[in-house]
């Protein structure tokens, strides 16, 4: 299942437009805030698909029966670019555990690279719902590598992939690699991928725009 929220033509599209706009991008605080809002909305929308349970809540005047999430998901974030989206998701799922993974490209040529995971900190993951966020899904290789790294700490009951912008190539790779019940929730899908694996029109380097240019 792939959900592209930009097709729904809501205020959400304004946030996507702003993270793409090279003039708005000059304000890193605004960029982070928009990434957080994008993640909040994606998290809210995907929560409608999650399992719920009925609980009784004592009010000052009686008992109210409420439908709440059956379990809190684990929020897994790819460092460092995913931190802003993580904050947005954490506001939606505020009693969730978090997992953090450091993954990076190591280029052998300008067009060829491998993905390395250097650091992983995660709670118990076996049998739990995972929400893995990364602002950009270009080739999908980082997401697949991170998923495989997380498997060392347990097997999920369900996986949600959350991203601001993705490509068809990345989505196809995730479909082929991750479990069949994986759901992919994105803010937009851009069809062009350069020889260096940059998304066009995309938005540039999300990590640099949110937290400063790395040296």
Most confident of 112-126, 150-164, 195-209: 150-164
Percent of the chain clearing pLDDT 90 (strictly above): 75
Q: Check whether 177 has a pLDDT greater than 60.
A: yes
From first CA to last CA, the distance across the chain in angstroms is: 38
Q: Check whether 175 has a pLDDT greater than 60.
A: yes
Q: 119-160, pLDDT tens digit by residue? A: 888 899 999 999 999 999 999 988 998 999 899 889 999 999
At 90 the pLDDT is 96
Q: How many domains does the chain have?
A: 1
What's the predicted TM-score (pTM) here?
A: 0.90
Q: What is the CATH number of the domain that holds 91?
A: 3.40.50.2020
- Contacts of residue 162, Cβ cutoff 8 Å, sequence gap at least 6: 39, 42, 43, 46, 85, 89, 131, 132, 133, 134, 185, 186
Q: From CA 150, how far away is CA 138, in angstroms rounded?
A: 20
Q: Check whether 112 has a pLDDT greater than 70.
A: no
Is the peptide bond preceding residue 80 cis, with omega within 30 degrees of 0?
yes
Q: Check whether 117 has a pLDDT greater than 90.
A: no
Q: 29-87, pLDDT tens digit by residue? A: 999 999 999 999 999 999 999 999 999 999 999 999 999 999 999 999 988 888 999 99
CA–CA distances in Å: residue 178 to residues 143, 160, 201 = 10, 10, 27
Half-sphere exposure of 207 (CA within 13 A, CB side): 13
- Among 145, 208, 157, residue whose Cα is nearest residue 181: 157
- Domain span at residue 18 reads 2-211
Q: What is the mean pLDDT of residues 88-111?
A: 81
């Amino acid at each position: 299942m792939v959900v592209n929220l930009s097709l729904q033509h809501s205020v959400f599209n304004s946030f996507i437009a702003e993270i793409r706009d090279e003039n708005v991008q000059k304000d890193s605080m605004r960029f982070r805030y928009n990434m957080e809002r994008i993640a909040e909305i994606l998290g809210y929308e995907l929560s409608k698909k999650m399992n719920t349970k009925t609980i009784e809540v004592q009010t000052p005047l009686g008992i109210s029966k409420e439908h709440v999430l059956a379990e809190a998901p684990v929020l897994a974030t790819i460092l460092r670019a995913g931190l802003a989206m993580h904050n947005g998701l954490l506001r939606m799922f505020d009693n969730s555990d978090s997992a953090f993974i450091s993954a990076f490209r190591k280029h052998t040529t300008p067009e060829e690279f491998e993905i390395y995971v250097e650091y992983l900190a995660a709670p118990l993951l076996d049998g739990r719902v995972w929400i893995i966020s990364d602002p950009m899904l270009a080739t999908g290789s980082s997401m697949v590598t991170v998923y495989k790294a997380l498997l060392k700490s347990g097997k999920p009951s369900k996986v949600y992939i959350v991203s601001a912008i993705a490509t068809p190539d990345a989505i196809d790779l995730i479909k082929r690699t991750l479990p069949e019940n994986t759901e992919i929730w994105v803010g937009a899908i851009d069809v062009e991928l350069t020889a260096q694996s940059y998304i066009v029109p995309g938005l540039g380097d999300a990590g640099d725009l949110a937290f400063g240019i790395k040296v």
